[in-house]
Amino acid sequence: MFLRANRVELDSRVITIKISANELETDVKTQTHIRISCIFATFLKYYFATFLSFPPTSSPPPTHLYGHAPGRVVNLSPLPFYWQTDSETFGQYYDRCEVDHKLLVRRPIRLSFDVLSQRHNFGRRSLSGFFDDLDDSRVRRRHCVVHDPSIGLHGAWTTEGVKTIYVDSAVATCYATRTGSFAVVAEVEDAPYREEDADWLFIFKMVGYTLSVLCLLIFIGVIVSSTYLWEMFHTLGLHLGCCLLLAIITMIVSELDAVRDDVKVCAAIGCLINFFYVATAALMAMESYAVFRAIVSGVIGGRTKVYLCYGYAAPFLCLGYNVLRNLALMGTDPGCMMGWDNAPKWAFFIPVAAFAAGSVVLMVIVVCNMNSPAMRKESIVEELGSIAKGMVLLVLLFALTWSFAPLAYCRFPGTELPDFYPAFQVMNSFAGVFVFVFIGIGSTRFRTVLAGQVLHRVSEDE
């Protein structure tokens, strides 16, 4: 089978071996060990010499070839030699050496390679040889191959006649039922790269981030400045707005070239993005649950601290797990979105998606019960209705936005997908505007504070 891959690099150092009497001694000095013998149709006084010194007998040794080579390409070209018993002379037999392929199937060639992109025991990547940029973390898989000159115009590497027995980041062992030029090839993923944003996308994104920051500052300032909004729902909304504001600021900081060029700084910004967006999603789920409890069970207040504890514990746990499992992969993404590998991104996206999905389920139940709430007081029902409607729209937009995130940032080799990156960037940049409009302006209590009618509203409630 002809080896096909998106990108293939030879993953072993360069060495070429020709089996001849003079070169065998040199090869032994370079720790390249070859034992080779071959069967002719008739053998009376011709034998194959090896550095293991087979004694002359009436029959040749079995067809077997064994090799260990710390090289990039091993070229095994068996040449026959003779030992004449009467004159005790040794030399090369110039007829062609035919290998018994049936015997090679039963006793195949065994080759062992030291691969190029090996790691030291203490964990640092050691890149040596000709491909200094061959990072072992980007190697998807390795194959033992043999060069077949009959493929194409100039030949190609193939796995036909070669079986990979064992391979890791340090050594590869292969069995072969043919002779030729052997090597280890590695399917290598492309180096991390990031295409520049289109002009329209960059403008929309920056406008969205700017408006979101301004709207969130107003939202936070209004809640903090008015004790009339210091009840459970707007307190949770306050913390949600603060976390989203910090998340948006970290997203803006991640656009700076100075941040992207430093791996450690990029990893730190990625962790902050992870923490604040998971906190935003968790607090949104807590507020959705609070609305659910108020509509379905009529429970209002008294649980604010509990909800906040859950809302902030979740991002700490998620970030801690991600750092524990994927710290070595963080900071490698050109956009500082955790890491270039999918693992740290999934550890970030899955909690956000889980909280968003839970919020959607809760708000669907709320919508089904809004016409018959457990709370009967008219003023409270009005306020709950406005908060619930705003939360429904906010949760749906948040869930839709972050459903695009894995499709925008994760890589799916061999799968053709539309480009979801612009959709995610635009919708995520306006997240602060959504919060201000839906749970800010959408709330009757919040609008009362903005209009300066708090005293009038309080007197009506009394």
pLDDT tens sequence across 292-317: 998 888 878 778 999 999 999 999 99
Q: Is 42 helix (H, G, I), strand (E, B) or coil?
A: coil
Domain membership of residue 35 (yes or no) is yes
Same domain membership, residue 174 and residue 323: no
Who has greater pLDDT, 153 or 62? 153
Domain membership of residue 194 (yes or no) is no
For 396-447, write each residue's pLDDT tens digit: 999 999 999 999 999 887 788 888 999 999 999 999 999 999 999 999 889 8
Token output for 262: 């430093």
- Is 6 buried (19+), middle (13-18) or exposed (0-12) by CB count in 10 A? exposed
Token output for 274: 């992870």
Same domain membership, residue 296 and residue 171: no
DSSP designation for 439: I
User: What was the pLDDT predicted at 340?
Assistant: 87
Domain membership of residue 236 (yes or no) is yes
User: What was the pLDDT predicted at 204?
Assistant: 93
Domain that holds residue 165: 8-188
What's the domain count of the chain?
2
Nearest to 308 by CA among 239, 388, 365, 355: 239
Same domain membership, residue 257 and residue 130: no
**Angle CA(316)–CA(321)–CA(325) in degrees, nearest 5?**
150
CA dist., res. 283 & res. 359, Å (int): 10
Domain membership of residue 33 (yes or no) is yes
Same domain membership, residue 313 and residue 282: yes
CB 395 within 8 A of CB 356: yes
Domain membership of residue 138 (yes or no) is yes
User: What was the pLDDT predicted at 355?
Assistant: 96
Domain membership of residue 193 (yes or no) is no
Residue ending a domain, choose from 140, 161, 188? 188
Instruction: Band the pLDDT of 119: cuts 50, 70, 90.
Output: very low
User: What was the pLDDT predicted at 457?
Assistant: 58
Residue ending a domain, choose from 188, 217, 245? 188
Same domain membership, residue 114 and residue 179: yes
Same domain membership, residue 204 and residue 177: no
Same domain membership, residue 276 and residue 174: no
Same domain membership, residue 207 and residue 95: no
For 7-31, write each residue's pLDDT tens digit: 444 444 333 333 332 232 223 223 3
Same domain membership, residue 203 and residue 184: no
Same domain membership, residue 205 and residue 180: no
Domain membership of residue 2 (yes or no) is no
Same domain membership, residue 245 and residue 303: yes
User: What was the pLDDT predicted at 412?
Assistant: 85
CATH of the domain at 400: 1.20.1070.10
Residue ending a domain, choose from 188, 214, 249? 188
pTM of the model: 0.67
In this structure, are strands 139-148 and 180-188 parallel, antiparallel, or unpaired?
Answer: antiparallel
Same domain membership, residue 120 and residue 32: yes
Percent of the chain at pLDDT above 90? 37
